[in-house]
Structure 1
Amino acid sequence: MSDKDMKFETVEDARAVPVTRGQRFKRHCARRWWIYLIAGLVIALAAVLGIIFGAIPAIAQSSVNDSKLQVDGIAITSPSNTQFTLSMNSTVHAHTPVSASFSPQTFEMFLPPSDGQAIVPFMSLSIGSLKVADTFTINVSDVATNIMNEEAYLAFSEQVLRNPTLNLGVRSNPQVNVGAIKFHVDYQKTVELKGLNGLSGIKLYNPTILDTPMEDGTNMVTDGVIPNPSSFTLQVGDLTVDMALKSINMDLGYSVVKDLTLHPGDNKVKIYNHVKPELIKNLLFISSLKGKNTDILLTANSTVFNGEHITWLEKPLHDAPPVVAVLNPE
């Protein structure tokens, strides 16, 4: 056999060996490995981004939903019919699986509406940046606050003044910062607060008739204690009330508590009474001043601060049932 024939047979044998699909794929990968590396990285990056921009915001929203807001104290001072000064101390209890912070945000406050009714905020409060932890505080002091809706704020004031408890709604849409990741969550909570319970439980002591009335007409002064079972500090101004002897429904005149600010707890005040002149020497009236546990009916007449009648204080107090104050309680 010649060399030429030998070479032909070798070529024929080589062409006869089949190449499998796996072998072709390996050769393809060997030549284009960089394409598959990039594709793998893109897939991995997409998965990571999905976790970051999907799971983390969802976890944060769930943590916000499960958190609890506790209002420790609210102070409403320098009242007017359009604005007031607001201070608030509160505590948030939350489970925070990641380190995060809130950018500055604005709280809107409202009375929780009935089913089907829209939320009507009556005031807002700007809050600075907050570092989120399992327990953290939100405290603001002396913030000038506008009344956003007079009717809604009047309803809120009525509940604060008259009721033993009330619900306050708080909402915001803060930006959450988790490292370089930023997103917004919906924050909405309802907290139960203690109200002033109609100023019930007022006690009066040491009624003293003045031989010579003061320049403003005060002819009797009394010491008083006004309880405030709530967490509200409320600056009222000059509070004027009509007074009557309950046992015989005798109109006695009116009384003024000057520069009244109600702090949580018992508030000791000086009361300036304008008793009708014809009653000053009335034996029945004088005996009632000396008796024990004498019930005096008090009906709010007006509240004045800086010369202005404060409607959202004056109206709820005036429209409420008379308060029974006990003179010389045992």
Structure 2
Amino acid sequence: MASETSPATATAPDVAKAAGSATGGGDNADAATDTAAQDTASSVDDQVLEKPAPTPTKKQKLKNHCAKFWWVHVLVVLVLLIILLPILFTVIIPAIVQDVVNDQKLPVYDGRLRALSSKSINITLDTMLNTPLEVDVGPMQMTLASNEEEKAPAFLSLAFPKSRVLHKTNLTVPPQRIDILDEDALVGWFTRLFDQDSIEVRVGSPRSKVHLNGLDYHPKLSQVAHLRGLNYLSGFAIQEMHFTIPSEGGYNIRGKLDLPNPGSLALYLGNVTMNLMAGDVQLGLIHVDELTMERGTNHPAFYGNIFFDRLLPNIAEVLSGQGQYLKNGELGLHVSGNTTVINGERVSFVERVLNAKRIPLGIPVTTFVGELLKAMTGSDGGTADLVDVLGGAFGNRTLIDDIMDHWKGSSSASKFSSSSSSGRSKRSNPVTRRPIGRMSLVKNMLKLGLRTRTKSR
């Protein structure tokens, strides 16, 4: 039993041998046996030596995919570029440039405005731009308009030069002569510049120019620039004054002004004549030649006339508005524009601004009366010709005689009688007037004014 071979376990040589025996060929049987043995050995070797192929990684798969379908990817990239590049350069970058332009503050640090005529001015401005990238701005035309109302008309147009800007960069609009586009709009804006301590101006350009990385962009410029105003010339005063009576060269007062300019712009206004007023009474005219208001406090010289012949006849009206000022020891006056002349031509837009103003001016009473008295009495303080001078100045010698009675001191007139045996008639010495004290003069002038005011009521 143990030696019997199971048909299920018969080897390939046995099968081949049996097949050969069945066919009856010995040689054929041997050949078949050898072939079967070789096949069996090969099968065994394959089972021992062959290993399964490794699975490719994702990177290898992607590489193989790109190598196989590279032309598809190139086509997709080209399509995307064709679609996105126009959007990038016509929509996205211009929007970024516009945002940068909209963020500009355009502060006006300094500048000069010089009136040339009623039709033109000369102007220069210093400002600043701030950009995250280096760009070239300009050249372009910029308009200036009031920011007080929508769609206000432009009153000036400036040429802005080409400038390179990176981060915070100070820029200068060079001096240029430009025509006034709209005088009414300029007068309105200049009035606010005069009245306020700060003011806005809208800077616009329908087609500004920004050059970035070889490409030009044209964002819309409509920004509000800020600058300091004149604050109604707060602090305006007469620094010094001197009367010349009788007048010299046709003028009876000269001096210097304290003329502040707290604004961002230095101003040249030409030859300016101003009214000197007390209420509605014009007391004089003062002239300033070549008036230039640099930034800070200026001290221009002035000359003019005080109309003394109008002072006393209107003393009640003059004093009616002096209550608060006199408590502070001042004469409360104000000045307003009269004429502005440049090269023999009146400058209408400056006149329209200045003539509408009533700039407060306080003059110390002691200074005014003291200088007036000094001019009337001369350097030695004598009063020999005081009545004549006052009478000529005020146009009423009889009235001045009456005023002098109030100024007269308590000097006595000594009378001497002759006790000579010749019996000559007695005579008296002429009365000698004493020099008039300044404070006494002030008090008596005020008393006279108050009495005149009472009578007028």
TM-score (norm. length: structure 2): 0.57
Q: What is aligned with 1:9?
A: none
Compare the two structures and name the one with the higher strand fraction.
1
Which letter does structure 2 place at the counterpart of 1:75? Answer: R
> Structure 2: where are the runs of 5+ without partners?
1-63, 319-324, 368-457
Q: Within 2, Cα distance between the matches of 1:132 and 1:206?
A: 48
SS in 2 for 1:71: coil
Q: Per-residue CA shift, 1:107-160, capped at 9, x if unaligned?
A: 11000253xx42311101111112122211221232011111121112112112
String of CA shifts for 1:278-311, please: whole Å, max 9, x gaps.
47999x99xx9xx953322212211111111111
- What is the match of residue 162 of structure 1? 195
Q: Distance in 2 between matches of 1:158 and 1:186?
A: 28
Change (3 A) 1:303 1:59: same
Counterparts of 2:147 and 2:281 in 1: how far apart (Å)?
42
Letter in 2 for 1:314: E
Aligned to 2:237: 203
CA distance in 2, matches of 1:76, 1:136: 23
Q: What is the rounded CA distance, in whole Å, between the counterparts of 1:244 and 1:103 in structure 2? A: 50
Q: Of 358, 361, 366, which aligns to 1:325?
A: 361
Q: Is the 8 A contact 2:134 2:167 kept in 1?
A: no
Q: Out of 299, 302, 315, which is 1:268 matched to?
A: 299
- Alignment of structure 1 residues 127-276 onto 2, 5 Å: 127-172=160-205, 173-211=207-245, 213-215=247-249, 217-245=250-278, 251-276=282-307
Aligned partners of 2:311 and 2:74: how far apart in 1? 102
Tell me the CA shift for residue 272 of structure 1.
0.3
* Displacement after TM superposition at 1:90 (Å): 0.8
**Superposed CA RMSD:** 3.1
| Structure ranking higher on relative contact order (CA contacts 8 Å, 6+ apart) | 1
Q: Percent identity?
A: 21
From the two aligned structures, give the one with the greater helix fraction.
2
1:176 is matched by which residue type in structure 2? V
1:5-154 maps to which residues of 2 (within 5 A)? 34=71, 37-44=74-81, 46-92=83-129, 94-96=130-132, 98-114=133-149, 117-154=150-187
Q: Tell me the SS of whatever aligns to 2:102.
A: helix
CA offset digits 1:173-207 (Å, max 9, x no partner): 31221112222111211123222222232111332
Q: For structure 1, which runs of at least 5 residues remain unmatched after alignment?
A: 1-25
Q: How many Å separate the matches in 2 of 1:258 and 1:174?
A: 41
Task: Count residues with an aligned counterpart.
Answer: 290
Larger Rg: 2
Aligned partners of 1:107 and 1:127 also within 8 Å: yes
Deviates more, 1:39-48 or 1:237-246: 39-48
- The C-alpha deviation readout for 1:2-40, integer Å capped at 9, x for no partner, is xxxxxxxxxxxxxxxxxxxxxxxx9xx96x965763453
The one of 314, 317, 342 aligned to 1:305: 342
Amino acid at match of 2:231: N
Q: Using the TM superposition, give the Cα deviation of residue 42 of structure 1 relative to its aligned residue in structure 2, in angstroms.
A: 4.0
